[in-house]
Structure 1
Amino acid sequence: MFKKILVALDHSKSDSVLLPRVKELCRLTNASLLLLHVSTGWKASWQRDLNLTDSREMEEDRDYLHEVETALRREGFDVDSRHATGNAADAIVRTAQEENCDLIAMATHGHRWLSDLIHGTTIGKVRHETDIPLFLVKGSPT
């Protein structure tokens, strides 16, 4: 069924809701996991263009990603991870395509009304930019 699942982590409480569901699915399908976290802060967005060093947030994000990857590996999962910067939706779609993922797992956060209306949601953008199926889990409200 699924061979490689991209798991979009956002370093929030929602990850603790998403990961158990993804682990269940992974056990059923024997798929490998590719964890992805996208740092979206100002420094992360401009790092390449301005040749900036990593921000504290980016370092913490990488540490978090490594911790989750290590924990899943200890549980016996075939898992790898990637860290990206910039626009989350673009990075999720690009990574899923480059890594030949056949499912993208993400947690939803509910609506932040005005912000969602003006900017859209990451999930909304991802679903319009890819043909890869999405596995959505209702996460914790932010």
Structure 2
Amino acid sequence: MYKNILVGLDGSPLSLRGLDHALNLARTVGAKVTMVTVTEMWSAIDMANAVREGNPVQKYEAEEEAFAKAILDKAADRATQAGVEFKTVHVPDEHPADGLVETAKAEGADLIVMSSHGRRGMRRLFLGSQTLEVVSHSTIPVLVIR
């Protein structure tokens, strides 16, 4: 049925529930899992404010890389414990929904699994749900975990 299940992760407990569901599904059908986290581009306003303190770009990129690594390391531990073949991918400087859809295509995923809400807070009210955007723009099936 499925050969490569892509899982979107943002570090929230809810995204880990989505990961657990994907790992169980992958183990059942013999699929591998591609675990993806996307870090957004730094806003121009934040960058302009931080420039007063020196060259913040390298610091920002290092912090985002460390954050992504922590998310993916935790996910890799769960996949190892589940006995599922996996790959981890960090997509930097991208809108999350776009990064997930593009990575799904590039990795040959035949299913995207993601949670319905993550760590978006007030931004979600203005920008819309990342999950809704993935569902709207993906050409492959999307399984939404609530």
Sort the TM-score into its range (normalised by shorter chain): 0.7 to 0.9
1:65–1:2: structure 2 CA closer, same or farther, 3 Å change rule?
Answer: same
Match of 1:32? 32
TM-score using structure 1 length? 0.79
**Amino acid of the structure 1 residue aligned with 2:137:** E
Match of 1:77? 84
Q: Name the Cα RMSD after superposition.
A: 2.7
Query: Helix, strand or coil for the counterpart of 1:38?
Result: strand
Residue 14 of structure 1: how far off its partner (Å):
0.8
Aligned partners of 2:23 and 2:33 also within 8 Å: no
CA-to-aligned-CA distance 1:79-138 (integer Å, 9 cap, x gap): 00100122001100100001110000000128x898555422111211221211001101
* Counterpart check, 1:61 vs 2:68: yes
Higher mean C-alpha deviation, range 8-17 or range 91-100: 8-17
Give distance in 2, aligned partners of 1:20 and 1:114. 27
Number of aligned residue pairs: give it: 132
Identity over aligned pairs, percent: 27
Give distance in 1, aligned partners of 2:9 and 2:80. 16
**Amino acid of the structure 2 residue aligned with 1:16:** L
1:64–1:5: structure 2 CA closer, same or farther, 3 Å change rule?
Answer: same
Aligned partners of 2:2 and 2:110 also within 8 Å: yes
Match of 1:52? 57
Residue 27 of structure 1: how far off its partner (Å):
1.7
Larger Rg: 2
- Would you identify which runs of 4 or more consecutive aligned residues in structure 1 move more than 6 Å? none
Match of 2:18? 18
| Selected match of 2:138 from 130, 133, 136 | 130
Higher mean C-alpha deviation, range 21-30 or range 116-125: 116-125
Give distance in 1, aligned partners of 2:127 and 2:139. 22
| Selected match of 1:96 from 104, 129, 137 | 104
Considering fraction of residues, name the structure with more helix.
2
TM-score using structure 2 length? 0.77
Give distance in 2, aligned partners of 1:82 and 1:103. 16
Give distance in 2, aligned partners of 1:64 and 1:115. 21
